[in-house]
Amino acid sequence: MQKQHSRVGFAILYPILVVILTFPFFFGGVSLLGRSWIFLGIGSVLAIIVVPRYFSSKIFIYLLFYSLFVILNLMIGDEYYHDFVNVVIEIATLLLVSSMTYYLFKYNDKKLMTSIIYSVLFIVIFTSIATFIIDIKLPGIIRELQHEINDGNTSAAKPLYRLGLSNYSLPHAVPVLIPALIMGFRQRNTSKFNRFVCLVALCLCVLLTYVSGATTPVLLAVLILIISLITKRGETKKNTTRMVILLLIALPFFTSDNLMADILRFSQDIVGGEGPIHERLVELENAALYGDTSGDLESRSILYKKSFNTFFSNIIIGSNSGFGGHSALIDRLATLGIIGFLPYVLFIIAQIKLTIRYIPSQYISYYVIGIAAAVFMLAFKNMSNWEMWFLTFTVLPIMIYRFSKE
């Protein structure tokens, strides 16, 4: 009993770490930008105290093997895993998120689940509103600041983060939550307040993807929104049928260049006549009509092909150079080869299997849609970061689990 109370006492630190690592407002307020490894390390040590059982699980074993391959690549001078701090951040992120989720479900800590859910929803709502207001005065500021950060300049980002501006990672991760938020809003047996919070958070998630200026999260958010809206609780076969019908309806639009161009021109009118999203839509229209993949669309295609070519040049053990750098999944496949990539995939599958067994069968469709959104984002963007893994591995399943019990 004493061990149980001790474990619960230390576990209370999880929501604190969540706020520190997820809330850009906090990052800017205490000048912690770029130092997340400190708190990720604390979280990893916390796992030893709170959930020692985790370290004998298959999930950790797979993560351990993946980490060994990553460290080996770092030691031999790999271009992808070349920075020691970034390697520590990646491994510690996966360890903290995985072990925290393991604790929440294995010990069924409902109070902690609830505190994490509402902490995240508050962060999303506050950050989305603040970002929208700031973006009105400084259009495209999220992308601009990310370029500054990539160049090593964090001074411009800190004051804006103190005002609540979102970082570049959060808008790419929030589409994962859309199915859970729609499910939460549809729950008739829950309180009106909970349903209202889910509705507000849903609308602001979509808004945040738009003001981010990034095309991929906007398109993904709209797609996931449509799929989630036609998904019904406990109707797996009917949901599959709806997906097939939706695909058949959409197929003519994708196979007809003129219809696709009309849709893209209509989308351009909706987003306005300028900005990065409008530019991507124009590029997609030109690609549909003329096969012209110029601009950003062309550069991304080149990067994806580069990673695939690197992978096929050394399928088994991967290559130390030649990756594209724009896809979290394809780049790791090219760098690690099948041998190093396999434990990475097994870790992800084991983590999903851990949580899906606790989700009632009638709600699994929402969970699968959220996972599909994460895989899509990881395949097309290099977004293997705290926000993506935390929302996918922890927040998505606990939201669906808790909402299903209300």
- Is residue 275 included in any domain, yes or no? no
Is the CB of residue 54 less than 8 Å from the CB of residue 102?
yes
- Is residue 224 included in any domain, yes or no? yes
- Is residue 295 included in any domain, yes or no? no
DSSP state for residue 53 in the 8-state scheme: G
- Is residue 293 included in any domain, yes or no? no
pLDDT band at residue 261 using 50, 70 and 90 as cut-offs: low
Q: What is the sign, positive or negative, of the torsion defined by CA atoms of 129, 132, 137, 142?
A: positive
- Is residue 105 included in any domain, yes or no? yes
- Is residue 323 included in any domain, yes or no? yes
- Is residue 286 included in any domain, yes or no? no
Mean pLDDT value across the chain:
84
What distance in Å separates the CA atoms of residue 224 and residue 389, rounded to the nearest whole number? 18
- Is residue 61 included in any domain, yes or no? yes
C-alpha distance from residue 158 to each of 32, 123, 145, 260, 387 (Å): 9, 17, 10, 41, 18
Instruction: For residue range 146-167, list pLDDT tens digits in order.
Output: 888 777 777 778 888 888 999 8
Instruction: For residue range 164-200, list pLDDT tens digits in order.
Output: 999 899 999 999 999 999 999 998 888 889 999 999 9
Question: Over pLDDT 70: what percentage of the chain?
Answer: 80
What distance in Å separates the CA atoms of residue 161 and residue 142, rounded to the nearest whole number? 10
Q: Is pLDDT at 115 greater than 70 in this prediction?
A: yes
Q: What is the domain range of residue 59? A: 2-234+305-405
Instruction: For residue range 337-395, list pLDDT tens digits in order.
Output: 999 999 999 999 999 999 999 999 889 999 999 999 999 999 989 899 999 999 999 99
User: How confident is the model at residue 375, as a pLDDT?
Assistant: 94
List Cβ neighbours of 249 (8 Å cut-off, separation of 6 or more): none
Q: Output b/e per residue, 74-109; b: 16+ Cβ within 10 A.
A: beeebebbeeeeebbbbbbbbbbbbbbbbbbbebeb
The domain tally of the chain equals 1
Instruction: For residue range 29-60, list pLDDT tens digits in order.
Output: 555 566 778 888 888 888 888 899 999 999 99
Q: Which two tokens stand for residue 112?
A: 């902690």
Q: Is pLDDT at 1 greater than 50 in this prediction?
A: no
Question: Over pLDDT 90: what percentage of the chain?
Answer: 44
Nearest to 102 by CA among 353, 387, 364, 366: 353
Q: In angstroms, how far is CA 127 from the centroid of its own chain?
A: 16
Stated pTM of the model? 0.88
Residue 197 vs residue 233, higher pLDDT: 197
Q: Which two tokens stand for residue 189?
A: 């047996």
